Structure 1
Amino acid sequence: MKIEQIHHVAYRCKDAKETVEWYVKNLNMDFVLAIAEDHVPSTHEPDPYMHVFLDAGNGNVLAFFELPTKPEMGRDPNTPVWVQHIAFKVKDRATLVAFKEQLEKNGIPVLGVTDHSIFHSIYFFDPNGHRIELACPDPEEEALLKRLDSVKWDMLDEWSKTRKAPKHAAWLHQKELAGV
């Protein structure tokens, strides 16, 4: 018994139409499906909603709920904004840079390109305040992932005991910290 893949990931949105149009325009996603009902199928509670689905590539689906009868959306004030995010993979660095240029042309502030050694990323926010990451593999990704794989359990065990960052993979961001 094993999970096959993520069926979809769902988030809340402020405005379903604005959200769909933003993802289509800025991330070139296809609008796949919309479902709207006056009652929640799982709980049967009366609560009208619009549920929209976007194609995030390779069978991955990103979904949003607009809930007009609920209080305004908020964030967990105890979780830093950089922690909770949606990350999408793009083909290569040229594609990543092209997305960065498109987003900035559309007036969206973009952080990065950030070099994480195994991949490179840009960060920005959708109109709902959700942080989005686009990431492309580093040309040396396979070898770097093997290196990380060999220390993952040691790192997890050390973290579990000390709650301090183990140094087994400190090399990941050394270039960035050295200003390279």
Structure 2
Amino acid sequence: MKIEQIHHVAYRCRDAKETVEWYSKMLNMDFILAIAEDHVPSTHEPDPYMHIFMDAGNGNVLAFFELPTKPEMGRDPNTPIWVQHIAFKVKDRAELLEFKEHLEAQGVDVLGVTDHSIFHSIYFFDPNGHRVELACPDPAEDALLSKLDAVKWDMLEEWSRTKKAPKHAEWLHKKELSKA
């Protein structure tokens, strides 16, 4: 048995129409499907919802639920805001910079470009408060991934024992830190 791919990833949204329009305008995603019911199919709870689906490319689907009868959306106060996010891959750095310029021109506050050595990213928030990342591969991505692959199990084992950051891949962000 093996998972083929992610079917969809679902988040909550404050307003389904606003979310469709934002992802269409800001990230050029197509609106592909909407489902609305008064009962939850899996649990049979009476709870009206709007479930929308956006095309995130290559068969990847980003979905949202608007839940008008539930309390306002919140965040886990024990999880830093930078942790929970969704990242989308773009073709290259030129396209990443084009998205950054487009988003900023629309009034979106964009953080980055951040150089992660294996890829480069920008970060911003959607209108629901979800953190979004756009990432493009680094030209040396394959060689760097191979280097990381060689130490992944050792790093995991050391982390599991010590709960301290192993130094096996400390080179990864060194050049970014040297810019700070």
TM-score w.r.t. the length of structure 1 is: 0.99
Question: Which residue of structure 1 lines up, in the alignment, with residue 174 of structure 2?
Answer: 174
Q: State how far apart, in whole Å, the 2-side matches of 1:45 and 1:168 are.
A: 49
| 1:149 CA displacement | 0.1
Residue by residue over 1:126-174, the C-alpha shift from the partner in whole angstroms, topping out at 9 and shown as x without a partner, is 0000000000000000000000000000000000000000000000000
Q: Which amino acid aligns with 2:92?
A: D
Q: State how far apart, in whole Å, the 2-side matches of 1:39 and 1:176 are.
A: 50
- Are 1:156 and 2:156 matched, yes or no? yes
- Aligned positions of 1:73-92 closer than 5 A: 73-92=73-92
| 1:57 CA displacement | 0.2
Q: State how far apart, in whole Å, the 1-side matches of 2:43 and 2:151 are.
A: 44
| 1:111 CA displacement | 0.1
Q: State how far apart, in whole Å, the 2-side matches of 1:168 and 1:104 are.
A: 36
- Are 1:32 and 2:32 matched, yes or no? yes
Counterpart of 2:179 in 1: which secondary structure? coil
Counterpart of 1:33 in 2: which secondary structure? strand
- Aligned positions of 1:105-124 closer than 5 A: 105-124=105-124
Question: Which residue of structure 2 lines up, in the alignment, with residue 62 of structure 1?
Answer: 62
Question: Which residue of structure 1 lines up, in the alignment, with residue 165 of structure 2?
Answer: 165
Q: State how far apart, in whole Å, the 1-side matches of 2:60 and 2:36 are.
A: 21
Q: State how far apart, in whole Å, the 1-side matches of 2:179 and 2:67 are.
A: 45
Q: State how far apart, in whole Å, the 2-side matches of 1:123 and 1:177 are.
A: 18
| 1:179 CA displacement | 1.0
Q: State how far apart, in whole Å, the 2-side matches of 1:21 and 1:169 are.
A: 40
Q: Give every structure 1 segment of 4 or more consecutive aligned residues whose post-TM-superposition deviation is greater than 4 Å.
A: none
Residue by residue over 1:25-48, the C-alpha shift from the partner in whole angstroms, topping out at 9 and shown as x without a partner, is 000000000000000000001000
Q: State how far apart, in whole Å, the 2-side matches of 1:16 and 1:59 are.
A: 21
Q: State how far apart, in whole Å, the 2-side matches of 1:16 and 1:178 are.
A: 43
Q: State how far apart, in whole Å, the 1-side matches of 2:179 and 2:8 are.
A: 38
Q: What root-mean-square deviation, in Å, do the aligned CA atoms of Structure 1 and Structure 2 show? A: 0.6
Counterpart of 1:178 in 2: which secondary structure? helix
Q: State how far apart, in whole Å, the 1-side matches of 2:95 and 2:8 are.
A: 24
Q: Which amino acid aligns with 1:15?
A: D
Among all aligned residue pairs of Structure 1 and Structure 2, give the percentage whose two residues are the same amino acid.
84
Q: State how far apart, in whole Å, the 2-side matches of 1:127 and 1:26 are.
A: 11
Q: State how far apart, in whole Å, the 2-side matches of 1:150 and 1:34 are.
A: 44
Q: State how far apart, in whole Å, the 2-side matches of 1:82 and 1:9 are.
A: 18
